[in-house]
Amino acid sequence: MESLQAEYTEVWISSPVVPLIRFANAVHSIASTSLDLVGLIAGQIDPAMRARLESFDEVVSWYGAGREELRLTFQQLAVTCHFFRALPPADNTQHAADFFSLQVNAPLGRNPRLRLSGNAESRDSVVIHPFSGSSRKNWPLNRYRELAQRLPLPVEWTASPDEILLEAHHFADLGQLAVWLLEARIYVGNDSGITHLAAALGVPTLALFGPTDPAIWAPRGSHVRVLRHQPLDTLSVDSVLRQCTIDEWS
């Protein structure tokens, strides 16, 4: 959820993403605001929450678009509210970034970027995240291990806190992960949130795609390479290695 005012922007978002939001005046996790409890009981809303929401000029939300009780409760408020789809429909053929841009009348074709303050120290390494939100989107881990042995630079592994990989760096805070990724020479991973994070940071990124359509879901940018192969588990290490030609990376 984002509330927009002439000189003030406040963002309410899922807890893990809070450290990545740097453009707003204030950032809160949805859980800390209790927004997730609004409307659960017959359209009721806590008076303090009502006052807080009505203090904004406008509320723009990608949260709750599928919760009718929340949208009906918001209709009671003395504030303009806009609800948008959090995911493109199944028949969507646009790139996801364009889908979201259209919802708010923003220019199309933009490349999502995340700019962090401070100067990161460069590490001459390749970061690999071998997982994603779905096993069907994952290139086999043994192929990643073979790739790591054949790359000309040291490899550093990363995984989310709930992904088991003993040699991986785990970060509970996405802000810390982002700073760490920013220091890498190259990033390699599947169609995953961490891959999109690396690309948004401007890190040279190789994204491996299988069942999902890169025309819709691939990260964008001149520093991004996308390699699609179906079925993904038959993609050879040689093919991936050729895309990791470090000296030729733009």
Pair (194, 136) in one structural domain? yes
Range of the domain at 164: 126-248
Instruction: Tell me whether strands 26-29 and 155-159 are parallel, antiparallel or unpaired.
Output: unpaired
Q: For residue range 66-99, list pLDDT tens digits in order.
A: 888 888 888 888 999 999 999 999 999 999 999 9
Element (H or E) spanning 12, and its range? strand 9-13
Sequence-ordered list of residues with C-beta below 8 angstroms from that of 48, at least 6 positions apart, any chain:
none
- The single-letter code of the amino acid at 218 is A
Pair (200, 149) in one structural domain? yes
CB 2 within 8 A of CB 10: yes
92 in a structural domain: no
| 142 or 245, greater pLDDT | 142
Pair (131, 72) in one structural domain? no
Pair (151, 228) in one structural domain? yes
108 in a structural domain: no
Query: From CA 112, how far away is CA 94, in angstroms rounded?
Result: 15
77 in a structural domain: yes
Half-sphere exposure of 184 (CA within 13 A, CB side): 29
With a cut of 80, say whether residue 168 has pLDDT above it.
yes
Query: How many structural domains are present in the chain?
Result: 2
Q: For residue range 103-114, list pLDDT tens digits in order.
A: 999 999 999 999
109 in a structural domain: no
187 in a structural domain: yes
CB 34 within 8 A of CB 46: yes
- At 4, list the tokens: 């927009």
Pair (70, 157) in one structural domain? no
pLDDT of residue 17: 94
